[in-house]
Amino acid sequence: MDRFSRLISPFGALKDKLFARLYFAQAVSLLGDAVTWLGIALLAFEFGGDHSAGVLSVALTLRIAAFIIFGPYAGVLADRIDRKKILYTTHFIRMTIVAALPFVHSLWQLYSLIFLLNIFNAFFIPAFKSAIPQVIGKKENYSNAIVLSNATWQLLGMLGPGLAGGLAAFMGARQIFFFDAATFMLAAVLILAIPGKLIAADKKPDEVHSQPSMWKDIAGGTKMLFGNRPIRFAVLIEMVIAIAGAQVLVNTVGLVKGGMGLSDQYYGYIMMAMGIGATIAAFSSNVIDRSNNKRILLFLSVILIIPAVSFANFVPYTVLLILWIFAGMGQGFSYLPSQIMIAENVPLPEQGKVYGAHFAWVHLSWGIGYILAGIIGSHFQSREFLIGGALSLLLFVIAMLLSLRVTRHA
């Protein structure tokens, strides 16, 4: 019974009314967001055919480039102005951009809209993550709120591709973007319903626009992120997981639609399997590891995802579904530790810049992973996942050696 209560304990965070409003706004937009990225993958296949891995890797690299360039600045901004204003403004702008995606007729248009969309994603995500501890009344509820937020992200990431696959089969891949635009609008309205402001600290107006202070804060966020030993190890593992996870996001569509000759709906199902695994991981994290450094979760993430990716080229579709559940669990276990440790160990007025630094560094790894996945998928078809898994294993060994060396000299 104790384990069951731990499993459902994240839902207790919804008793906090402010967090509940923020949470439901997140849930609505995430459902549409999952649909959008499946739609982008289908557009990549429409434009690129058997070379869709190259198209999708460019699109995802542009996404990461926006995160890396604007993420640290966005994190600092979230410590300086009303986070609520950042949240609803970015929602309305993203709604407009997503509504334009059905009308693209060339790759440069697709790439441009993806880059613009993710500039505003970069401003939204650090503000949202740093708003969670702010709206939660009790510090002991941080973990439950973050677990529930991440679990919902994974759950709706699971449901979204399945829904999108069905919608695409009946409506066409382009029309599903209108669904996402509607979810952004509804989420913005829910955020506007949160009373008051979400200001982290009392800043003078001239400090918000002070460039030397801004860059000092950006550097300070990175220093705080890597200066804490447990958080640093968690970030290193996230970077390893990003290389393996990029293989899944870039090359799965080519494997399922090109190599296996299956339809859009089957691609939706295979990505839904990954979402199932990530959701299981998110909800079970508190049961598996309640320690402060979350090392069990970090090692589990590596043990699950690397073998799953490595064998993907050599199994039939039904077995691939199971492997992608394990890969999703690996990703899911890697997401939570650093976020929980930042919320519990970094002072509230500083969390925006640390989340921004975390956001940028981890997504830099994803950006490198997307480029590698595109190159491997384009030049080593039928062996791309084996090569990607071997590369991830090598990076894990390097990360462990670096961690041991730093620990000995700390």
Which band of pLDDT confidence, cut at 50, 70 and 90, is reported for residue 356?
confident
pLDDT (0 to 100) of residue 208:
45
**All domains in the chain, ordered by first residue:** 16-194+207-409 (1.20.1250.20)
How high is the mean pLDDT of the chain?
A: 78
- In percent, the amount of the chain with pLDDT more than 90 equals 11
pLDDT (0 to 100) of residue 216:
67
What is the C-alpha separation between 240 and 408, in angstroms, rounded? 22
pLDDT (0 to 100) of residue 198:
67
The least confident of 43-52, 132-141, 198-207 is: 198-207
Mean pLDDT of 337-365: 77
Mean pLDDT of 326-338: 86
Query: Which position has the higher pLDDT, 12 or 393?
Result: 393
pLDDT at 210 over 50: no
Mean pLDDT of 345-364: 76
Token pair 């439950």: residue: 144
Read off the pLDDT of residues 76-107 as tens digits, 9 standing for 90 and up. Answer: 777 777 778 888 888 899 889 988 988 888 88
What is the C-alpha separation between 153 and 123, in angstroms, rounded? 18
Are residues 313 and 383 in contact, defined by beta-carbon separation less than 8 angstroms? yes
In the chain, the amino acid numbered 212 is: P
DSSP tag of 311: T
What is the C-alpha separation between 333 and 302, in angstroms, rounded? 9
Query: Which position has the higher pLDDT, 165 or 336?
Result: 336
pLDDT (0 to 100) of residue 319:
92
pLDDT at 184 over 80: yes
User: Is the sign of the CA dihedral 101, 254, 322, 270 positive or negative?
Assistant: positive
Mean pLDDT of 136-145: 65
Helix (H, G, I), strand (E, B) or coil at 374: helix
pLDDT (0 to 100) of residue 1:
44
Query: Which position has the higher pLDDT, 101 or 261?
Result: 101
pLDDT at 196 over 80: no
406, burial (CB in 10 Å: exposed 0-12, middle 13-18, buried 19+): middle
* Of 114, 91, 74, 89, the residue nearest 358 (C-alpha): 74
User: Is the sign of the CA dihedral 182, 359, 148, 156 positive or negative?
Assistant: positive
Which band of pLDDT confidence, cut at 50, 70 and 90, is reported for residue 209?
very low
pLDDT (0 to 100) of residue 253:
80
pLDDT (0 to 100) of residue 217:
64
pLDDT (0 to 100) of residue 207:
46
pLDDT at 212 over 70: no
What is the C-alpha separation between 277 and 263, in angstroms, rounded? 22
Which band of pLDDT confidence, cut at 50, 70 and 90, is reported for residue 346?
confident
pLDDT (0 to 100) of residue 10:
65
pLDDT (0 to 100) of residue 405:
55
pLDDT at 305 over 90: yes
Read off the pLDDT of residues 226-246 as tens digits, 9 standing for 90 and up. Answer: 777 778 888 889 889 999 998
Read off the pLDDT of residues 24-36 as tens digits, 9 standing for 90 and up. Answer: 888 887 777 777 7
pLDDT at 322 over 90: yes
3-state helix, strand, coil in the chain (%, to 5): 90, 0, 10
Which band of pLDDT confidence, cut at 50, 70 and 90, is reported for residue 304?
very high
Query: Which position has the higher pLDDT, 293 or 140?
Result: 293
pLDDT (0 to 100) of residue 386:
92
